């Protein structure tokens, strides 16, 4: 495709008007202010008047199959939300449920300009099949809850982890990756956790863990582990010896932040979910100041309840200002970086997340003709503070269009919605029969 006379947010996150951007195969092959010499070698020419081309978004923390639980577990704190609602519901989910629910998440993310997500859940082969069918990208991991102190190799979930490395990692011409995971410190133990971390190092893969999400989680961890915070506990077991994504990090202190910065840990910030579950406000300004790679996540649809990362980008820029009483706390460029390049880095996709020649053609087109986009004193400020996922009119993943003008070329959206709705009803009926 050749985008013509279109505004862009370039590799430095600066706005440039009336540009030409060409994609060939899965790569951005041209970015310039004039028509490329080989223009006739491109396919469709896309008219860019009143449009803005940006790098597509990267979701650094999600539970994609939880679209089945959208609106189901409401107005509860985290532990009650998990134990009374989510875990009983999830216990009824099968592989096909996970496939259709993940496909619905893919459709929603593509609708809002996101092409890749880091997903922590179960039934990894079914999730991988959904991502591949959608033509999108994902870093998948299986989330062990292990309360008995024995190596992960002695748990049934280990077979899925081994299968993930053997058969999922590298699927879709590299679009799908598989990585290591534990759910959290409070749902694991030293022996199991260390064996998972050792497994990740052995297979040269990444790790993804919920970290310091609530105040009680941190307090209980310190009581269990001789004063260590979850961050310090993870480090003591060697978790940070591989690339690591720490989801949430709401209750990290200065020592935690310094340690994460030293170890190159990425924080997946989930502002909407953290507020909805009343977990608190992550110290994003401090994390950024320390040099921590801060990316964005939408979390699961029982605690957000949508995959519109423009919403989370807005909250990332806005909340620290109010919480820290500092209007300079997080800049639009920092918030936009968290939604794009930082997420790509978190997923180990070094050639993604920027609108730059030679990078993957992961792009989103916004319609900026609406009243909320006028005037343009600073386009990136408009993107962060006035933009919405509904402004996206085209999403491209590795050069392939996965959403355009209300249609999903890779997804039968009507069937997907019908399947998910029916499966939610089935599971709720089964729970009701049990009195749950």
- Split at pLDDT 50, 70, 90, the class of 436 is low
Distance, in Å, from the CA atom of 171 to the CA atom of 178, rounded to the nearest integer, reads 9
Q: In 112-179, which ranges are continuous DSSP H helix? A: 124-134, 157-163, 171-174
- Tens of pLDDT, residues 245-264: 999 999 999 999 999 999 99
> How far, in Å, are 63, 127, 154 from residue 70 at the CA level?
11, 18, 34
Three-state SS annotation for 382-421: HHHHHCCHHHEEEEEECCEEEEECCECCCCCHHHHHHHHH
Look at residue 401 and tell me whether its pLDDT is greater than 80. Answer: yes
**Predicted confidence (pLDDT) at residue 153 exceeds the cutoff of 90:** yes
- Dist. CA 351–CA 202, nearest whole Å: 25
For residue 350, what are its two tokens? 């070094």
Contacts for 155 with CB less than 8 Å, ≥ 6 apart: 144, 146, 192
Average pLDDT over residues 379-403: 98
Dist. CA 105–CA 304, nearest whole Å:
13
Residue-level pLDDT at 170: 98
pTM above 0.95, yes or no: yes
Q: Where are the beta strands (DSSP E) in 68-172?
A: 114-121, 137-142
CA 64 to chain centre: 9
Domains along the sequence of the chain with CATH: 2-55+353-404 (2.30.40.10), 57-346 (3.20.20.140)
- Would you call 383 exposed, middle or buried from its count of C-beta atoms within 10 A (0-12, 13-18, 19+)? buried
Contact (Cβ atoms closer than 8 angstroms) between residue 3 and residue 20: yes
Q: Terminus-to-terminus CA distance in the chain, angstroms?
A: 52
Tens of pLDDT along 165-208? 999 999 999 999 999 999 999 999 999 999 999 999 999 999 99
The pLDDT, as a whole number, for residue 435 is: 77
All residues at 6 or more sequence positions from 428 whose CB lies less than 8 Å from its CB, including other chains: 72, 89
For position 264, what pLDDT does the model report? 98
Mean pLDDT on 36-45: 94
Half-sphere exposure of 155 (CA within 13 A, CB side): 23
Structure tokens belonging to residue 423: 């499966």
Beta-sheet pairing, 57-63 with 114-121: parallel
Three-state SS at 207: strand
Q: pLDDT digit string (tens) for 212-250? A: 999 999 999 999 999 999 999 999 999 999 999 999 999
To the nearest whole percent, how much of the chain has pLDDT over 90?
95
Asked if the model's pLDDT at residue 76 lies above 90, the reply is: no
Mean pLDDT of the region 132-152: 96
Distances (CA, A) of 173 to 58, 96, 168, 250, 383: 18, 24, 11, 36, 32
Report the distance separating Cα 31 and Cα 33, nearest Å: 7
* Sheet containing strand 293-296, strands side by side: 180-181, 207-211, 244-248, 266-269, 293-296
pLDDT of residue 1: 96
Q: Is the pLDDT of residue 330 over 70?
A: yes
- Kindly report the number of other CB atoms within 10 A of residue 425's CB atom: 10
């Amino acid at each position: 495709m050749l985008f013509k006379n279109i505004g862009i947010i370039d590799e430095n996150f600066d706005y440039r008007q009336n540009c030409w951007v060409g994609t060939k195969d899965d790569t951005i092959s041209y970015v310039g202010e004039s028509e490329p010499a080989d223009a006739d070698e491109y396919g469709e020419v896309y008219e860019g008047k009143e449009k803005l081309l940006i790098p597509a978004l990267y979701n650094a923390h999600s539970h994609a199959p939880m679209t089945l639980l959208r609106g189901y577990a409401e107005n509860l704190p985290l532990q009650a939300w998990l134990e009374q609602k989510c875990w009983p519901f999830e216990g009824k989910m099968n592989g096909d449920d996970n496939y259709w629910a993940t496909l619905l998440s893919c459709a929603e993310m593509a609708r809002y300009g996101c092409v890749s997500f880091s997903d922590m859940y179960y039934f990894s082969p079914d999730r991988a099949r959904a991502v591949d069918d959608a033509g999108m990208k994902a870093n998948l991991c299986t989330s062990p809850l292990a309360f008995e102190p024995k190596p992960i190799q002695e748990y049934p979930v280990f077979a899925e982890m081994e299968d993930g490395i053997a058969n999922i990692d590298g699927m879709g011409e590299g679009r799908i990756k598989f990585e290591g995971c534990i759910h959290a410190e409070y749902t694991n133990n030293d022996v199991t956790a260390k064996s998972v971390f050792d497994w990740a190092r052995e297979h040269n893969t990444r790790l993804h863990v919920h970290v310091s999400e609530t105040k009680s989680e941190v307090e209980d961890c310190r009581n269990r582990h001789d004063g260590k915070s979850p961050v310090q506990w993870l480090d003591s077991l060697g978790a940070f010896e591989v690339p690591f994504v720490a989801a949430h990090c709401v209750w990290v202190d200065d020592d935690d932040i310094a340690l994460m910065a030293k170890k190159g840990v990425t924080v997946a910030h989930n502002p909407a979910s953290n507020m909805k579950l009343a977990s608190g406000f992550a110290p994003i300004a401090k994390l950024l100041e320390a040099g921590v790679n801060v990316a964005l996540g939408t979390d699961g649809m029982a605690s957000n309840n949508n995959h519109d990362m423009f919403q989370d980008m807005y909250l990332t820029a806005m909340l620290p200002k109010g919480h820290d009483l500092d209007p300079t706390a997080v800049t639009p460029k920092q918030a936009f970086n968290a939604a794009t390049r930082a997420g790509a880095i978190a997923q180990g996709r070094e050639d993604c997340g920027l609108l730059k020649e030679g990078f993957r053609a992961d792009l989103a087109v916004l319609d900026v003709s609406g009243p909320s986009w006028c005037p343009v004193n600073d386009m990136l400020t408009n993107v962060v503070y006035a933009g919405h996922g509904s402004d996206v009119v085209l999403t491209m993943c590795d050069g392939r269009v996965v959403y355009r003008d209300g249609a999903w070329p890779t997804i039968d959206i009507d069937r997907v919605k019908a399947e998910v709705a029916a499966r939610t009803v089935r599971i709720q009926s089964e729970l009701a029969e049990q009195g749950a």
